[in-house]
Amino acid sequence: VGVSSEKEEVRPSQFCGSILSKHSESRGDFTILLSNIVLGCKFVCSAVNKAGLAKLIGLAGETNVQGEEQKKLDVLSNEVFVKALVSSGRTCLLVSEEVEEAIFVPPSKHGKYIVVFDPLDGSSNIDCGVSIGTIFGIYMAKDKDNATLDDVLQPGNKMLAAGYCMYGSSCTFVISTGNGVNGFTLDPSLGEFILTHPNIKVPSKGKIYSVNEGNAKNWDEPTTKYVENCKFPQDGSSPKSLRYIGSMVADIHRTLLYGGMFMYPADLKSPNGKLRVLYEVFPMSYLMEQAGGQAFTGKERALDLVPSHIHDRSPVFLGSYDEIEHIKELYAACK
Give the binding site for Mn ion (CB under 5 A).
Answer: 68, 97, 118, 120-121, 123
User: Least CB distance from residue 66 to Mn ion, whole Å?
Assistant: 6
| Binding at 246: pick from Mn ion, ligand AHG, none (beta carbon under 5-8 Å per type) | ligand AHG
Out of Mn ion, ligand AHG, none, what residue 151 binds, judged by CB under 5 to 8 A for its kind, is none
**Closest separation between CB of residue 28 and ligand AHG, Å?**
31
Tell the smallest beta-carbon distance from residue 176 to ligand AHG (Å): 20
Torsion over CA of 215, 217, 221 and 225, rounded to 10 degrees? 80
Q: Could you give the CA distance from residue 56 to residue 73 in angstroms, rounded to a whole number? A: 6
Closest by Cα among 312, 287, 288, 285 to 300: 285
From CA 291, how far away is CA 142, in angstroms rounded? Answer: 28
For binding to ligand AHG (CB under 6 A), which residues are involved? 68, 97, 118, 121-124, 212, 246-248, 264, 274
- Is there a contact between 98 and 64 (Cβ–Cβ < 8 Å)? yes
Closest distance between ligand AHG and the C-beta of residue 275, in Å? 6
| Burial class of residue 63 (count of CB atoms within 10 Å of its CB; 0-12, 13-18, 19+) | exposed
**Toward Mn ion, which CB reaches closer, 277 or 324?**
277
Q: Minimum distance from CB of 148 to Mn ion (Å)?
A: 25
DSSP state of 68: P
Nearer to ligand AHG, 77 or 177 (CB): 77
Give SS3 for 208: strand
Per partner kind, with CB cut-offs from 5 to 8 A, the member of ligand AHG, Mn ion, none near residue 37 is: none
Closer residue to Mn ion (CB): 118 or 289:
118
